[in-house]
Amino acid sequence: MTATYQILNDENKIVSFQPKDTFLNDIYEGLSKLPKSIPSQYFYDKKGSDIFTKITKLEEYYLPKASLEILDTHKDEIAKLMKDEPFRLIELGAGDGKRTKILLECFFQKKSNFTYVPIDISEAAMSGLIKLVENNFPLLNTKGLVTEYFEGIRWLEKENYRKNFVLFMGSNIGNFNKAEEIKFLTSLKESLNKDDFVLIGFDLKKDIALINNAYNDSKGITKEFNLNLLRRINDELGGDFNLNDFDFYASYNPLIGSVESYLISLKDQNIYIKELDKTFNFKKWEPIFTEHSFKYSEEDIKLLAYKTGYKIEKQFYDSKHFFTQSIWKV
């Protein structure tokens, strides 16, 4: 596969490694099948990453608060897992790094010898994160990689280090379907070394009304986040979506344990996408699937670790038991 490789900042701290035309190909594939779908990784262009930051501040969206509380309470125990040896702190889907900052501070105070390697598909999120690191930890050795998780994992294999600590926070794992989840965790394990650690954030199963509320916020920000996918197709691929002709629908499906998110066509319509030179037909009330957000029970987590060959080392919870940061050993 051809890829574009670019160094994005003066100090050589951000490298972008993007396979070519993946957005175009994935949109073609996703809108050609039934039911239609758009992969959730495309939420995160500059505008999408900014909207996601607004979501993290919503009262209803309990995930970042719970995640932050756990890190704040247990940071010392987490940092203690790494002994005095040099290591690489790799973060997958790092986002704005607001929560990671707590751990970076802690490792820094412990005078740990580490390199920070955040990996995120969003160039905008990575630029913000690298600024945050430069402002707060100017001496920290950092290399940000703008790419998709799997490309990032392949890159990790090439740059083999003896000791790694991987962060996969914010319940990003819940966005995979069950086959992708196994494939992801297995590939990750293969690229790591024995006794490396992986910290995974899992959103726990809980009162369904609370979950549904988190994805149906009163300000409509999550709707804006989903509609941004269509705006992105218009801007980057020459689509002619009218955003007012689509609505947003998200609901928890207890049979599979996931909040399923959709854009819904409000009328029969034809949408032309210039870069594909193709017209896509949408029926009135037809859905476009946009995202899974899986929720987990204790048993789900244990089974997943067992199936993918990791050992659960420690598990930390917030005071409301909404979320867990689970630390797995390779």
Ligand X SMILES: C[S@@+](CC[C@H](N)C(=O)[O-])C[C@H]1O[C@@H](n2cnc3c(N)ncnc32)[C@H](O)[C@@H]1O
Of 198, 192, 141, the residue nearest 169 (C-alpha): 198
* Site map (CB under 6 A) of ligand X, residues 196-225, x = contact: ------------------------------
| Window of 165-173, 230-238, 244-252, 305-313 that interacts with ligand X by CB under 6 A | 165-173
- Is residue 148 within the footprint of ligand X (CB under 6 A)? yes
Which lies closer to ligand X via its Cβ, residue 146 or residue 288? Answer: 146
Rounded CA-CA distance 172/180 in Å is: 12
Least Cβ distance, residue 274 to ligand X (angstroms): 26
Residue 294 DSSP SS3: strand
Rounded CA-CA distance 250/262 in Å is: 6
- Is residue 99 within the footprint of ligand X (CB under 6 A)? yes
Rounded CA-CA distance 141/329 in Å is: 25
Of 78, 98, 40, the residue nearest 215 (C-alpha): 40
Of 102, 76, 92, 189, the residue nearest 144 (C-alpha): 92
Residue of 144, 170, 174, 257 that binds ligand X (CB under 6 A): 170
Rounded CA-CA distance 122/140 in Å is: 22
Question: CA-CA distances (angstroms) from residue 101 to 97, 104, 130, 169, 286?
Answer: 6, 5, 11, 12, 42
* Site map (CB under 6 A) of ligand X, residues 62-91, x = contact: --x--x------------------------
Residue of 82, 169, 192, 327 that binds ligand X (CB under 6 A): 169
Which lies closer to ligand X via its Cβ, residue 149 or residue 316? Answer: 149
What is the amino acid identity at position 88? R
Which lies closer to ligand X via its Cβ, residue 259 or residue 271? Answer: 259
Residue of 45, 120, 196, 286 that binds ligand X (CB under 6 A): 120
Rounded CA-CA distance 101/89 in Å is: 12
- Is residue 133 within the footprint of ligand X (CB under 6 A)? no
Rounded CA-CA distance 30/306 in Å is: 32
Residue of 31, 78, 121, 185 that binds ligand X (CB under 6 A): 121
* Site map (CB under 6 A) of ligand X, residues 282-321, x = contact: ----------------------------------------
By the criterion CB under 6 A, which residues form the site for ligand X?
Answer: 41, 44, 49, 52, 64, 67, 93-95, 99, 120-122, 125, 148-149, 169-170, 172
